[in-house]
Chain A
């Protein structure tokens, strides 16, 4: 029974860790399906988080008693707006101005982390307050569990004790998977990422698809940041608190072979690997660090194995990283 409890806590914690990764991975998959390798995702996730915090802070401080509805809605849309603007910068530079995707993405990450940490650290000083920023009321609303979760015993505690953003992540991943595989525009989008020249010849607006998928992908990824600051840390911001999770999300994209549905389980596995060292008894602190290496190591193995097997379905979108210019052949 004790073991079962520990296992349940572990699974629960793995899911909590996995949710931001899932948002990031789903967003990046949608982006990459259009042929854009957006290495700015880690930065976008920071911005998604801080935008939510700013929205919440401004709202909490403008009314006497914050209402639950607005506490949820304002940060949510603030977060979407922030990450959409970030993704737009990337899109404009890489799609319209055809800049190098790697360089632009890395610059965006630098910028995004800077924006996150700057506002996270300085927002209060603009209002002549001190200390670190925390929007606990909003965080509390974001953390609200399903009402019947507690009545379902261990199962409820393990799988149903999350705030709504956790479920939304899974839903978005499933919808993304359905969109990519079973809709007309999803098919067109995949064609853009595989072979933009062919897509163009078939009358698909390549530029529009690239813009839309990059911006929507960025917005989804940004929600991962929002989940982290609102749910995971209860509305408190710590600089660099989000850590390298953005890169882990990019690793998941590879691990899940560019499939949003596989990304769900992959994210939870990676979330688990991220914290498993805490749950293995008797580990030295050094061994814990070694175990934290696992997600990256596994990703490399997947990358190598897929390139060895050369199975076409498992490869990255064929035009990934290349900008499209119709007159260039």
Chain B
């Protein structure tokens, strides 16, 4: 009906939903948006620094690709962001706005660090790693299930709930760190630095190999899960229309709980990778804002895990590149956030031109649809 209604309304310009755009056209628009954003960023850089933006972008690329070490650091950054992005995706597909990835990652990391802290001398490293993994997954799961439970039963606003859970998690970490650290510094420092107990080992001499490989595997698993399993299908139905889900006999509540358990478990796993495979310690800033960035990565990729590789690459590349130029041109590191923000605005905004059509009123009177 909506289509027909607009036909003769004499507005100066009307915008309306359009049939799906051909995929390559949509991606062309998105690509154009990124390009446009980079141009705007170039202007910003010139304005701020007076440097030649080409030089600056060149530095950015160097920042990510110049050495093998930098490439691995880039891969590690992508892996972690991607992991969290994958984790939040099933919930989003169900239209459950989980803004609590930060908290879920942190409790996972905390559980993991706690295992390292308490079992450091009692368990062999291999076994300890298994225990850590398990603890992290359970912790993340529980953290996600609490808001999910209230959402499923009483429709409690999940975005606000999960947002608050983040800060409780942060304080929990601070609490744990404060109770574990007896020295005056207040910094936990590397756990088990002497024994490397509970540290993921380096493979092929690459410290981050296991992290990257795990996330690569998870990407495939998530892709398959969402696209080819019954669970994934149910998630799509519930996200598409709860009424239809009920009509074909899907128990919506249990799908919400199950999906959030999965989502939280993956966040917990990300926490595990951050502690066991990366930092070997826990701080309240461990996840570095990735919980929120992941939301954007997932959303920009239209919840497609494979495309998420691309979007998380874009963001990590920007962030690393920006911090590279920050050091090179003696700027502040936060320039990365500014550039990321600008690019996100463009990508967010360009969706409008994919989903809607803008008509300017012309001479011809009657629409021809």
Secondary structure dominating the interface of A = helix
Interface residues of A in 61-84 (CB under 8 A from B): none
In the bound complex, do residue B150 and residue A93 qualify as a contact, i.e. CB atoms below 8 Å apart? no
- A327 to B15, alpha carbons, bound, how many Å? 9
In the bound complex, do residue B167 and residue A247 qualify as a contact, i.e. CB atoms below 8 Å apart? yes
With A113-B337, A121-B332, A125-B330 in contact, is A284–B348 under 8 Å at CB? no
Question: Which one of B153-161, B219-227, B245-253 is at the A interface?
Answer: B153-161
Q: Does A208 lie at the interface of the complex (its beta carbon under 8 Å from any beta carbon of B)?
A: no
Q: Does B345 lie at the interface of the complex (its beta carbon under 8 Å from any beta carbon of A)?
A: yes
In the bound complex, do residue B175 and residue A289 qualify as a contact, i.e. CB atoms below 8 Å apart? yes
Complex interface bits, B120-142 against A, C-beta within 8 A gives 1, otherwise 0 = 00000000000000000000000
Q: Does A297 lie at the interface of the complex (its beta carbon under 8 Å from any beta carbon of B)?
A: yes
- A156 to B250, alpha carbons, bound, how many Å? 63
Question: Which one of B23-31, B73-81, B263-271, B290-298 is at the A interface?
Answer: B290-298
Q: Does A15 lie at the interface of the complex (its beta carbon under 8 Å from any beta carbon of B)?
A: no
A117: chain B residues at CB < 8 Å are 332-334, 337
A97: chain B residues at CB < 8 Å are 348-349, 351-352
Q: Does B361 lie at the interface of the complex (its beta carbon under 8 Å from any beta carbon of A)?
A: no
Q: Does A321 lie at the interface of the complex (its beta carbon under 8 Å from any beta carbon of B)?
A: yes
In the bound complex, do residue B161 and residue A300 qualify as a contact, i.e. CB atoms below 8 Å apart? yes
Question: Which one of B1-9, B54-62, B189-197, B210-218 is at the A interface?
Answer: B1-9
- A92 to B289, alpha carbons, bound, how many Å? 25
Q: Does B99 lie at the interface of the complex (its beta carbon under 8 Å from any beta carbon of A)?
A: yes
In the bound complex, do residue A304 and residue B156 qualify as a contact, i.e. CB atoms below 8 Å apart? yes
With A118-B338, A292-B171, A304-B150 in contact, is A99–B163 under 8 Å at CB? no
Secondary structure dominating the interface of B = helix
A14: chain B residues at CB < 8 Å are none
Q: Does A262 lie at the interface of the complex (its beta carbon under 8 Å from any beta carbon of B)?
A: no
B332: chain A residues at CB < 8 Å are 117-118, 120-122, 239
Q: Does A30 lie at the interface of the complex (its beta carbon under 8 Å from any beta carbon of B)?
A: no
Q: Does B336 lie at the interface of the complex (its beta carbon under 8 Å from any beta carbon of A)?
A: yes
In whole Å, how far is A214's beta carbon from the nearest beta carbon of chain B? 15
In the bound complex, do residue B17 and residue A304 qualify as a contact, i.e. CB atoms below 8 Å apart? no
- A239 to B186, alpha carbons, bound, how many Å? 20
Top 8 A-B pairs ranked by shortest CB distance?
A111-B341, A114-B337, A121-B332, A117-B334, A97-B352, A286-B178, A289-B174, A286-B179
A sample of 26 cross-chain residue pairs with beta-carbon separation below 8 angstroms, ordered by A number, consists of A98-B352, A99-B352, A100-B299, A100-B348, A102-B295, A103-B299, A106-B99, A106-B296, A108-B341, A117-B333, A117-B337, A118-B335, A120-B332, A244-B170, A251-B164, A284-B178, A284-B179, A285-B186, A287-B175, A289-B174, A293-B167, A296-B164, A297-B168, A327-B2, A327-B6, A328-B17
Binding site for A on B (CB under 8 A): 1-2, 5-6, 16-17, 48, 97, 99, 150, 154-157, 159-161, 163-168, 170-172, 174-179, 186, 289, 292-293, 295-296, 299, 330-338, 340-342, 344-345, 348-349, 351-352, 355-356
